[in-house]
Structure 1
Amino acid sequence: YWGKPPRYRSLNSILDEIERNVYEFGINTFRFTDSCFSAPPERTANLCDTMYDRLVRNGIIIKWSSYAHIKNLTYSLLEKMKRSGCFALDIGVESGAPKILRKMGRKYSPEDIINVSRAARDLDILTDFNIVVGFPGETDETLNQTIDMLQEAMPDAFSCFLLFIAPHMIISERPEIYGIKGSGLSWSHATMTSEDAYRALRMISKSVTNSCSFPGAESFACNLTALGYSTEQIRNFFKATQKLTYCASDRIARTSVENVCEKLRALW
Structure 2
Amino acid sequence: MTPTPFLTPLSPPRPVRSFVRREGRITEAQRRALETLSSCYQVPGGEDALDLAALFGREAERYLEIGCGAGETLVALAACHPENDYLGVEVYRPGLGRLLRDIAAAALVNVRVLVDDAVEVLAERVPDHCLSGVYLFFPDPWPKSRHHKRRLIQPPFATLLREKLRPHGRVFVATDWEDYALHILSVMSGEAGFVNLAGTAAFAPRPCWRPLTRYEQRARQRGYVVRDMVFAPAIHSQTGRTAERL
TM-score when normalising by structure 2: 0.39
Indicate the structure with greater helix content.
1
Q: Which has the higher contact order (CA 8 A, sep 6+)?
A: 2
TM-score when normalising by structure 1: 0.37
